[in-house]
Structure 1
Amino acid sequence: MSIAFEKSETHRNLLRAFAGESQARNRYTFAAGLAKKQNLQVIEQVFLFTADQERAHAKVFYNYLQSLSGQNIAIDGAYPIDLYPTTLEHLRAAQHNEYQEWEHDYAGFAKIAMEEGFAEIGKTFEMIAAVEKTHGDRFGRFADLVENDGLFRSEAGVKWMCLNCGQIIDSTLAPATCPICKHPQGFFIRLGMAPFQP
């Protein structure tokens, strides 16, 4: 079945996705600020890194709506409120929300787009859904580390990298202060997780 874009559910789903990605970007920016206050600069950087990718997704979805420029489109949608006192809670909420987009929202939007005859948009939803799974995996991995007191500690020796200057140190514990730039431990990440691999 092929229908006119302006009468499709796909154009509304694109706007829902744009709104969701835009809100995710802001939520992650807010969570980054909390992580920074809690001296978890590495988590701050994870949230900011992901927020920038959400901005890129929002732009992709928004650009598909160019033919409707100048119009107001009414949509309904449900969006999360994530106002928590701890960075761990924000990581877990972000993990949940990213998996929601991957497994439910964008999978459904892709199916509808294909059914309505918008194969390119459907494929874009599928590709971005896969990225959202990566985001969820990343947030989950960092949440696990925070939860298990492993963010700056490892049973076996690992390589730690300072996100500020790039210094690499082999140890079971990230240094309290970088020997080169004097930035605090919060800037250190396992080298194997830089730049923020799940």
Structure 2
Amino acid sequence: MSVSFDKSQTRENLMRAFAGESQARNRYTFAAGLAEKNDLQVLQGVFLFTAGQEEQHAKVYYDLLEQLSGQTVKVDGTYPVDLFPDVLSHLRAARRNEYQEFEHDYTGFAKVAKEEGFPEISHIFSSIARVEKSHGDRFGAFADLLEQGKLFVSDVECRWMCLNCGHVVEGTMAPAACPVCKHPQGYFIRWEMAPWGVPLK
């Protein structure tokens, strides 16, 4: 079935996606501030890096609404309230929210767009859905390390990189402070996760 864009469910889904990405960007920016307060600059960086990508997703969705410029699109939606006192809870919530977008929201939006005759928009929803899965994987990996007390400790020798100056050291633990720039341990990340990969399982 083919429908006009200004009467489509896809138009509403794009606005929902724009709102969701915009809110995710802000939630991650707020979580980054909490991580910084807890001397977890590596997690601050993860949140800010992901926030930047969410901003770009929002722009992609918003630009697809250009033909409706000057109009108002009314949508109903549900959005999470993630106000936690600890960084781990923010990581877990972020993982859950990203997987929700991947498994349900954007996958469903892609199906609707295809059915309504918007194959390019369908492709964009599907493509961004896969990115959201990678976000969820990354948040989950860092949450596991934090929860296990292994964010700065490894069972085996590995390389650690200072996110401030790039200095690399080897050992089973990140140094308490970078021997080059003197920034604290919170700036160190496992080499294979910088910046911001997740080891394949």
Is TM more than 0.5 here? yes
**How do residues 177-188 of structure 1 correspond to structure 2 at under 5 angstroms?**
177-188=177-188
Equivalent-residue separation in structure 2 for 1:158 and 1:125 (angstroms): 38
1:164 maps to a residue whose letter is N
Equivalent-residue separation in structure 1 for 2:74 and 2:126 (angstroms): 24
Q: Which residue of 2 aligns with 1:168?
A: 168
Q: Which residue of 1 aligns with 2:94?
A: 94
**How do residues 99-110 of structure 1 correspond to structure 2 at under 5 angstroms?**
99-110=99-110
Equivalent-residue separation in structure 1 for 2:46 and 2:129 (angstroms): 19
Tell me the C-alpha RMSD between the 2 structures: 0.3
Q: Which residue of 1 aligns with 2:24?
A: 24
Q: Which residue of 1 aligns with 2:159?
A: 159
Query: Residues 98-136 of structure 1: CA distance to partner in whole angstroms, max 9, x if unpaired?
Result: 000000000000000000000000000000000000000
Secondary structure of the corresponding residue to residue 195 of structure 2: coil
Q: Percent identity?
A: 65
2:16 maps to a residue whose letter is R
The CA deviation at 1:35 is: 0.2
Equivalent-residue separation in structure 2 for 1:158 and 1:18 (angstroms): 40
Extract structure 1 runs of 4+ deviating beyond 2 A. none
2:96 maps to a residue whose letter is H
Query: Residues 112-164 of structure 1: CA distance to partner in whole angstroms, max 9, x if unpaired?
Result: 00000000000000000000000000000000000000000001001000000
Equivalent-residue separation in structure 2 for 1:129 and 1:195 (angstroms): 21
The CA deviation at 1:69 is: 0.2
Stretches of structure 2 lacking an aligned partner (at least 5 in a row): none
The CA deviation at 1:84 is: 0.2
Secondary structure of the corresponding residue to residue 45 of structure 2: helix
Query: Residues 75-106 of structure 1: CA distance to partner in whole angstroms, max 9, x if unpaired?
Result: 00000000000000000000000000000000
Number of residue equivalences: 198
Q: Which residue of 2 aligns with 1:131?
A: 131
